[in-house]
Every structure is written in C-alpha cells, then in structure tokens.
Amino acid sequence: MTEYPYFPLFVNLSGKKILIVGAGSIALRRAEALSPFGAELMVTAPEGRPEMEKLAAVWNRRRFQEEDLEGAVLVLAATDDKELNSLVAELCRERGIPVNSCSDRTQCDFYFPGIARRENLVIGVTASGKDHRLAATVAGQLRKWLSGW
C-alpha cells in the first residue's frame, strides 16, 4: 500500500470540545498550541503540569474513562502510557472521532503541525509524522520570518 503525506486542513475549533488525555509536557505543548484557536480543552489526567490549569476548561483529575469521549470532536492521547494511548485511539476509531496518539504515529488520524502565526495568517508545517525536528525547525524559521514582516 502506498503511504501518502497528510493533507493540510484548517478547521474552526472555536467552542469545540477537544479532549486531551494526559497533562504532561507533550499534552501541555498541544494545549498551548490549541488554546489561541478557541477550542474548549477538556483534560483527563490524575496529575500533570500546573500550567495546564490555565488552559483547560475542565480538568478531570482521574484516569481516563470511556465516557470522557462524549462530545469530543478531536482527541489527543498524550500520556506516557502506550497501552492507554492505544486504547484511547481504538475507542475513538470506533466512534469516528479523529485522534492523535503521541506514542504511535500509525494510530494518528492527524498530525499536530508546527505553527507559525501572525494575526490571521496561520501556517502549519508537518513532515507527515516522520521528522518532527525538521518540521519544528521550518516552523521556527517561518515564525522568525513573520516577525520581521
């Protein structure tokens, strides 16, 4: 089977529920990236980075439960537990909810892009899950370029 790159798609997240399972460093970076786009961030994790408190509309301080998926339009499985991330991905697929798993790119329906933004101009960069460093470098260069514009 041919492996194709992922198509960039810009969506309106304003007021939409995005579930983040986990509240560590990766989950926090994803929450920080989503926050400026108006999403309603719901976090489920027994503990995590204190900065998450400011970003989450609701933080369920417990382990993930299947009912956490109710109403979510996107889900990020961002824990350090690969089995839990896989379970979250499997449950999302059963429900038709796009999911991103930080521990296994083959379980991702979408990739999290590097973002460069200036006002309403938003640039997303991905290397289709194969070279995060390259995508981050290019996004950083684009942010520099935009700041001098």
Q: Give DSSP secondary structure letters for 67-125.
A: GGGTT-SEEEE--S-HHHHHHHHHHHHHHT--EEETT-GGG-SS-PPEEEEETTEEEEE
Domain with CATH 3.40.50.720 in the chain: 17-107
Please identify, in words, the CATH class of the domain defined by 114-147: alpha beta
For 85-107, write each residue's pLDDT tens digit.
999 999 999 999 999 999 898 99
Distance CA 144, CA 140 (A): 6
Domain with CATH 3.30.160 in the chain: 114-147
Do the Cβ atoms of 20 and 29 come closer than 8 Å? no
Which residues on neighbouring strands pair with residue 119, listed in sequence order? none
Please identify, in words, the CATH class of the domain defined by 17-107: alpha beta
Using DSSP bridges, classify how beta strands 121-125 and 74-77 pair: parallel, antiparallel or unpaired: unpaired
- Give residue 74's pLDDT: 97
- Give residue 143's pLDDT: 94
Distance CA 86, CA 106 (A): 10
Distance CA 123, CA 132 (A): 16
Please state the pTM of the whole predicted model: 0.91
What DSSP string describes 111-128? -PPEEEEETTEEEEE--T
Do the Cβ atoms of 68 and 21 come closer than 8 Å? yes
The answer to whether residue 1 scores a pLDDT higher than 80 is: no
Query: What percentage of the chain reaches a pLDDT higher than 90?
Result: 79
